[in-house]
Structure 1
Amino acid sequence: MAALAWLLIPLLAAIGAGVWGTWASRNRRTIGDGAELAGYTRFREAMEKQHTEKQPTEKSPTDV
């Protein structure tokens, strides 16, 4: 009976390796770069708008 227990260890290891190999080689769905590029475009446009808007000038105490 003890010999069967020792034979189960490599058998379970082989099954575990097979499961892990199948999981590791699965096809992963990738969304792509479309969402990231759109977000970067919105960010860039917002930054350009922020710098191109005319900022109100502050009056210094000597301009009064």
Structure 2
Amino acid sequence: MAALAWLVIPLFGVLVAVVWARWAARGRTHADGASLAGYERFRTAMQPGERPPLKVNKGETDETDAEPV
């Protein structure tokens, strides 16, 4: 009878491990739509010439261009 108990313990452990693995893997999706769309936005933002050039108004200075008095 003791030998049977030593065989049941590992089988019970395997059963618990299988149930836990199935539970841990539930509801996982393999959809990459949102991450791929974000990557495409990143790529287009990094492409040279894809964005309109920055507008620079001549004659206007900001505080960093001003000389100290």
Counterpart pick for 1:20 among 14, 17, 20: 17
Greater per-residue helix proportion: 1
TM-score, normalised to structure 2's length?
0.50
Unaligned ranges ≥5, structure 1: 55-64
Root-mean-square deviation (CA), in Å?
A: 2.4
What CA distance in whole angstroms lies between the structure 2 residues aligned with 1:28 and 1:14?
27
- Any unmatched runs of 5+ in structure 2? 54-69
* 1:9 has 2:6 as partner: yes
Correspondence list, 1:1-64, <5 A: 3-4=1-2, 6-26=3-23, 27-30=26-29, 32-48=31-47, 51-52=48-49
In 2, Cα distance between equivalents of 1:41 and 1:33: 12
Moved over 4 A (4+): none
Q: Number of matched residues?
A: 49
Query: What's the TM-score, normalizing by structure 1?
Result: 0.52
Task: Write the letter of the residue equivalent to 1:40.
Answer: Y
Identity level (%): 39
Higher relative contact order (CA 8 A, sep 6+): 2
